[in-house]
Structure 1
């Protein structure tokens, strides 16, 4: 019976392609399902043979560990190079946008918290 080895929801296409290539390189028979027209189905990579599930999960886990390490290192390099702005840099360059977002966040929090507060203080 087929089993899910990798969910594809919110996965960037290059990462999904790398997982597909990894499974193909190791001759693991798999197929994919998409999230469907309304995006409510399971988008995933499935392995056909039960014997290959353990090997596929092991390969994918190793890939994800290496990929996570590489992505974090790339992020830190970009951050050190100054290509990723901090909150204060964003505030300095786009004050209207930052203040608008902060006001919207505060409004959502207020709309969420005030009814609960009123309910318990009645």
Structure 2
């Protein structure tokens, strides 16, 4: 029976490539199903037998712990450089930021309009 190792929905391309390389390096017999374009099927990495699944799971757990640590370090360095938050997004792309803000206000206005008219 196939064992689902990892869901590929919303997985960045670089992470999926690193996992493929990890499996190839350690000669894990796996197969991959892509996620559907419309988000109906999740896709993922799969193994056929129990032993391969256990070995792949151990490799994935170690890889994901390392990736978590490296992503946290990258985030902390971006925070220290001031590259996070709303002010950074506004400075980086002011037109996009203001368009999103206007869209939020319009949607909120249309959503609350029936309740305002009741009073």
Tell me the TM-score range normalised by the shorter chain. 0.7 to 0.9
Q: Which runs of 5+ in 1 are unaligned?
A: none
Partner residue, 1:4: 4
SS of corresponding position for 1:41: coil
Give TM-score scaled by structure 1 length. Answer: 0.73
Residue 102 of structure 1 and its aligned partner are, at CA, apart by 2.2
How many angstroms apart in 2 are the aligned matches of 1:31 and 1:25?
A: 15
Computed over aligned residues only, the root mean square deviation of the Cα atoms, in angstroms, reads 2.9
CA distance 1:67–1:103, shift in 2 (3 Å): same
Calculate the TM-score normalised by the size of structure 2: 0.74
1:87 matched residue in structure 2 = 86
- With over 3 angstroms needed to count, the CA separation of the structure-2 counterparts of 1:17 and 1:100, relative to structure 1, is closer
Aligned length: 118
Q: Distance in 2 between matches of 1:10 and 1:39?
A: 10
